[in-house]
Structure 1
Amino acid sequence: MDIQKNKENAIAFYKMAYEGNPTKAVTLYVGDAYKQHNPMVADGPQAFIDYFNRMQKEYPVKSMDFVRSVAEGDLVALHTHQIWPDNDEYVTMDFFRFDTNGKIVEHWDSIQQIPDTSNNNNTMY
């Protein structure tokens, strides 16, 4: 298993889907099965495509910066900073599991909105 390649592929997959081409992202990076742990998205590649197509239609202007990526074994974790319309900001942490062919087969995530104020001067990312 190529851990560095998995990190690169997780970033490319997420970026491609987020920017409006989830069908291509699934074709290039997802394995035969795709298990989803986000309660807003059903299992399977088509559910992922449908969700990201809807997000692109509803929110065409958004941005995402990849803050860091960490890989161990068959898992890759991505830490991102996202900015949505009206300057609505989020920090996300996504975990992807890869199969032995280097394809994504499982996903977990956690999303937290960045508040307007903080009790410290540190970023959440």
Structure 2
Amino acid sequence: MNLEENKQNAIAFYKMAYEGNPTKAVELYVGDEYIQHNPLVADGPQPFIDYFERMYREYPVKSINFVRSVAEGDLVALHTHQVWPGDDQYITMDFFRFNANGKIVEHWDSIQQVPKTSANNNTMY
């Protein structure tokens, strides 16, 4: 396993899908299977593509910043800060499992909206 390459590929995969090209992201970075743990998206590459194509149609103007990436074994974790229309901000933590060929085969995520007020002065990212 090449940990640095897996980190870069996870970022490229997520960015490409987020910015409106999930089909190419799947072609380049996903293995023969794609196990999805997000309850809003079914297993397999096509439901992933459908989800991100719909998100792009409904919200074409949004941004994503990759704050952190961590790799260990066959896993890569990404910590992102996303800004959607109306300054609607989210923090995500995504985990991707890679197969022996360096392809993504499984995904978990946790998404939290950034609140307007906080009990501390620290960012969520």
TM-score (norm 2): 1.00
Question: Could you tell me how far 1:30 is from its partner in structure 2?
Answer: 0.1
- Structure 2 residue matching 1:67: 3-state secondary structure: strand
Aligned to 2:23: 23
Shift of 1:7: 0.2
State how far apart, in whole Å, the 1-side matches of 2:35 and 2:68 are. 23
Matched, 1:61 2:58: no
Partner of 1:99: 99
TM-score (norm 1): 1.00
Q: Write out the 4+ residue segments of structure 1 that deviate beyond 4 Å after TM superposition.
A: none
Are positions 1:74 and 2:74 aligned together? Answer: yes
Match of 1:119?
119
Q: Over aligned residue pairs, what C-alpha RMSD do you find? A: 0.3
Q: Which amino acid aligns with 2:8?
A: E
Task: Quote the Cα distance in structure 2 between the aligned partners of 1:47 and 1:117.
Answer: 35
2:115 maps to a residue whose letter is P
Partners of 2:114 and 2:121 in 1: CA distance: 13
Q: Deviations over 1:42-65 (max 9, x none)?
A: 000000000000000000000000
Unpaired segments of 5 or more residues in structure 2? Answer: none
* Alignment match, 1:85: 85
1:4 aligns with 2:16: no
Runs (5+) with no aligned partner, structure 1:
none
1:88, distance to aligned residue in structure 2 (A): 0.1
**3-state SS, counterpart of residue 17 of structure 2:** helix
1:84 maps to a residue whose letter is W
SS in 2 for 1:17: helix
Percent identity, aligned pairs only? 80
